[in-house]
Structure 1
Amino acid sequence: MTAGVRLLALSLALIVLFMLAAGVAGGARAQAPDAEAGDFGGGDEPAAHVPWTGEVATPDEGTSSLAGTPFDPARLALLPQLRVGLVLDPAAGDFDRAAPFREALERGLRLPVLLVAYRDLSRLQRALVAGEVDYAPLSASAYAQAQRMCGCLVPLLSPRAGDGSAGWHAVALVARDSPLQRLADLAGARVATGPLQSTGARRVPLAALAAEGLDAERDLAALVAHADPLAAADAVRRGDADVSFGWSSLRGDVAEGYSRGTLRDIFERDGAAASLRILWASPPIPNAAHAARDTLPEPIRAAIVELLSETAEGEGGFEAARAISPFGFVPVEAQDYAPVLATFDGQDGAPAGRLRPLSPPR
Structure 2
Amino acid sequence: MRRALAWIALLLTLTAPAFASWRDDVGTLRVGFIAGDNPNYEVARLEKFRWQLQYALAVPVELFPARSYEALMEAQATGRVQYAVLSSLAYITLDRRCDCVEPLVQPTSADHLRGFRALLVARTDGPVSTLAEARNMRLAVGGKDSLSGRRAAYAGMAKEGIDPASYFLRIVETPDSAAALAALAAGEVDLATAWSMASDPLSPSIGSGPFGQLAGDGVLSPSTLKIVWQSDLIPFGPHVVRKDLPEMAKSSLLQALTEMRNVQPEAYDAIERGLPGGFVAADPALYRQLAETLNLPRRRD
TM tier, smaller: 0.7 to 0.9
Q: Structure 1: which 5+ residue stretches go unaligned? A: 1-69, 348-362
Q: Structure 2: which 5+ residue stretches go unaligned? A: 1-16
Matched, 1:174 2:122: yes
Find the partner of 1:207 among 135, 145, 155.
155
Matched, 1:343 2:294: yes
What corresponds to 2:66 in structure 1?
118
Superposition deviation, residue 90 in structure 1 = 5.1
Asked if structure 1 preserves the Cα contact closer than 8 Å seen for 2:123 and 2:226, the reply is: yes
Asked if structure 2 preserves the Cα contact closer than 8 Å seen for 1:71 and 1:112, the reply is: no
Distance 1:228 1:293, change over 3 A: same
Superposition deviation, residue 137 in structure 1 = 0.4
- 2 CA distance for matches of 1:122 and 1:240? 34
What corresponds to 1:330 in structure 2?
280
- 2 CA distance for matches of 1:258 and 1:172? 20
What corresponds to 1:131 in structure 2?
79
SS of residue matched to 2:294: coil
What corresponds to 1:193 in structure 2?
141
Asked if structure 2 preserves the Cα contact closer than 8 Å seen for 1:87 and 1:120, the reply is: yes
Find the partner of 1:259 among 202, 207, 215.
207
Distance 1:279 1:250, change over 3 A: farther
- 2 CA distance for matches of 1:172 and 1:130? 38
Matched, 1:82 2:29: yes
> What is the correspondence of 1:81-100 to structure 2 with a 5 Å cutoff?
81-88=28-35, 89=38, 91-92=40-41, 94-100=42-48
Distance 1:237 1:311, change over 3 A: same
Superposition deviation, residue 208 in structure 1 = 0.5
**Mean alpha-carbon deviation: is it higher for 262-271 or for 157-166?**
157-166
Percent identity between the two aligned chains: 29
Matched, 1:321 2:267: yes
What corresponds to 2:237 in structure 1?
288
- 2 CA distance for matches of 1:181 and 1:259? 24
- 2 CA distance for matches of 1:107 and 1:99? 12
- 1 CA distance for matches of 2:39 and 2:145? 29
What's the TM-score once normalised by structure 2's chain length?
A: 0.77
Find the partner of 1:277 among 194, 203, 226.
226
Asked if structure 2 preserves the Cα contact closer than 8 Å seen for 1:72 and 1:111, the reply is: no
What's the TM-score once normalised by structure 1's chain length?
A: 0.65
- 2 CA distance for matches of 1:282 and 1:302? 32
SS of residue matched to 1:106: helix
The alignment covers a number of residue pairs equal to: 274
